[in-house]
Chains A and B, each alone.
Chain A
């Protein structure tokens, strides 16, 4: 087996493992998704106006995504560090770039599920209208944003894994880094939702921004993940 295929196999195995853990524990479905939903309801209480909600729905969807992501990332690495699983993988000589790819992919799948639910919530609760073209753009936005979020989340999650006080540290480290995703994804979603009279064509430049972010952090992540977790 060439090193390349073995790396892909490892990444697939790690991703499968993470998704299987999630499938068995149902943390995402039973805890994170309800949390995200209640955040959306709380936004409605705070803003208390149908017109405003419809206008700011894109931003709220992505804010709720980011908050939920913090929990999912914590969880993703709590599983790894609880019984030294991550160290065991590293001692076994597993390529850190493959671990990074696998964990990022599992995180992306979970985030996509969350985002789909949140967009659905926005349609139902905030009265957002989604055309067919808008839906297509929404899917592209979600994919581009999620690749970036998955890579950054895994990278910084790995940094904070297994240290005391990581629950408080992760948001401080992660939120400033994902600011470009919040900006880009919110604007692209505004275009997809047509919030404030935005046209669909206005969304594409923002998707390019999301793409650049995803490209930068997937490349850097596979290089930097090794030194970060190698302890």
Chain B
């Protein structure tokens, strides 16, 4: 995939569409897989002994947070590559940015589905559990990252600032998670969310869950390809806009 992304980034011609034959096929695959997942999750997979139908939220909840983690890891890897690379290709920065955007979206979905499930199962939208609290911090941290990407400045400045910030987030998140755990462990008995480790899943449920992970991963790759091409076009447009403006001033000066 990396090779493919690079090829798009360094091409000088300005592409007017973000789609290619490959992404269209990938998009179609994502739609098919998500449809199958919906059928599996809503109809075929059995109800849970204790939770009844509410367990079906899991097939969306778990894959969304999985995709979000994957996205943030990719952001960190691309940021590190950008900073360490000799040529400092902005392509890495755009993939990092696109990935973080999708990550934020999926964390939001995960928090939303989680709180809906919590409302039905625990009777409350939110508990001050270590994992939930850390996830909320993860969400806010990357909203901050996206805000930094939108700051004034050149594309290089944006890339450097946001890469450093993405790497700082990698440090910050374990620290926050560790301290929140410490905070909870001394102030509240182990909460409901951490008690779910010894749950036995039915085979079909397990299959649906893994199928969900695969379906959402395909969706992630598809979104990522489009989004980073979109960012490439935006960057190209803003550079072209500047070139055109300089050209216009030059003409005025000559006249």
- Which residues of A come within 8 Å of B, CB atoms? 155, 159, 163-165, 169, 172-173, 176-177, 179-180, 183-184, 187, 205, 209, 212-213, 216, 220, 224, 227-228, 230-231
* 11 A/B residue pairs, CB under 8 Å, sorted by A: A155-B168, A159-B148, A159-B165, A163-B152, A173-B144, A173-B148, A177-B176, A184-B179, A220-B171, A228-B160, A230-B160
A70 to chain B, nearest CB (A): 14
The 9 closest A-B pairs by CB, nearest first: A180-B179, A173-B144, A172-B144, A183-B183, A163-B151, A183-B179, A176-B140, A176-B141, A164-B152
Complex Cα–Cα for A180 and B171 (A): 12
CB neighbours of A184 from chain B (8 A): 179
Q: Is B172 in the interface zone, CB < 8 Å from A? A: yes
Complex Cα–Cα for A159 and B151 (A): 11
Interface of A is mostly: helix
CB neighbours of A205 from chain B (8 A): 182
Partner of A169, one of B147, B160, B179: B147
Q: Kindly supply a per-residue 1/0 record for chain B positions 166-182, scoring 1 wherever the CB is within 8 Å of any chain A CB and 0 otherwise.
A: 01100110011011101
A220 to chain B, nearest CB (A): 6
* A159 lies within 8 A of B183 (CB): no
* A209 lies within 8 A of B151 (CB): no
* B148 lies within 8 A of A169 (CB): yes
Complex Cα–Cα for A172 and B169 (A): 13
Q: Is B245 in the interface zone, CB < 8 Å from A? A: no
CB neighbours of B210 from chain A (8 A): none
Q: Is B143 in the interface zone, CB < 8 Å from A? A: yes
CB neighbours of A228 from chain B (8 A): 160-161, 164
- Which residues of B come within 8 Å of A, CB atoms? 83, 137, 140-141, 143-144, 147-148, 151-153, 157, 160-161, 164-165, 167-168, 171-172, 175-176, 178-180, 182-183, 186
* A187 lies within 8 A of B144 (CB): no
Closest chain A residue to B177, Cβ basis: A180
CB neighbours of B144 from chain A (8 A): 169, 172-173, 176
* A209 lies within 8 A of B182 (CB): yes
CB neighbours of A213 from chain B (8 A): 175, 179
Complex Cα–Cα for A159 and B157 (A): 11
Given that A172-B140, A220-B168 are contacting pairs, would A209 and B148 also be in contact in the complex, using a CB cutoff of 8 Å?
Answer: no
Residue with the greatest number of chain B CB neighbours at <10 A, chosen from A173, A176, A228 = A176
A211 to chain B, nearest CB (A): 12
Closest chain B residue to A224, Cβ basis: B164
B17 to chain A, nearest CB (A): 33
CB neighbours of B143 from chain A (8 A): 172
B215 to chain A, nearest CB (A): 31
CB neighbours of A177 from chain B (8 A): 141, 168, 172, 176
CB neighbours of B179 from chain A (8 A): 179-180, 183-184, 209, 213
A30 to chain B, nearest CB (A): 31
CB neighbours of B140 from chain A (8 A): 172, 176
* B175 lies within 8 A of A180 (CB): yes
* B167 lies within 8 A of A224 (CB): yes
B154 to chain A, nearest CB (A): 8
Query: With contacts A159-B165, A163-B153 known, what are 10 further pairs, Cβ within 8 A?
Result: A165-B151, A169-B148, A179-B137, A179-B179, A209-B179, A212-B175, A216-B171, A224-B168, A227-B164, A228-B164
CB neighbours of B172 from chain A (8 A): 176-177
CB neighbours of A231 from chain B (8 A): 153, 157, 160
Complex Cα–Cα for A230 and B176 (A): 28
Partner of B83, one of A169, A187, A209, A227: A227
CB neighbours of B167 from chain A (8 A): 224
Complex Cα–Cα for A165 and B144 (A): 13
B20 to chain A, nearest CB (A): 34
Complex Cα–Cα for A230 and B164 (A): 12
Complex Cα–Cα for A220 and B175 (A): 13
* B160 lies within 8 A of A216 (CB): no
Complex Cα–Cα for A183 and B141 (A): 17
Given that A184-B179, A187-B183 are contacting pairs, would A169 and B161 also be in contact in the complex, using a CB cutoff of 8 Å?
Answer: no
CB neighbours of B182 from chain A (8 A): 183, 205, 209
B172 to chain A, nearest CB (A): 5
* A216 lies within 8 A of B164 (CB): no
CB neighbours of A165 from chain B (8 A): 151
Complex Cα–Cα for A212 and B171 (A): 12
A84 to chain B, nearest CB (A): 15
Closest chain B residue to A159, Cβ basis: B161
Complex Cα–Cα for A126 and B183 (A): 24
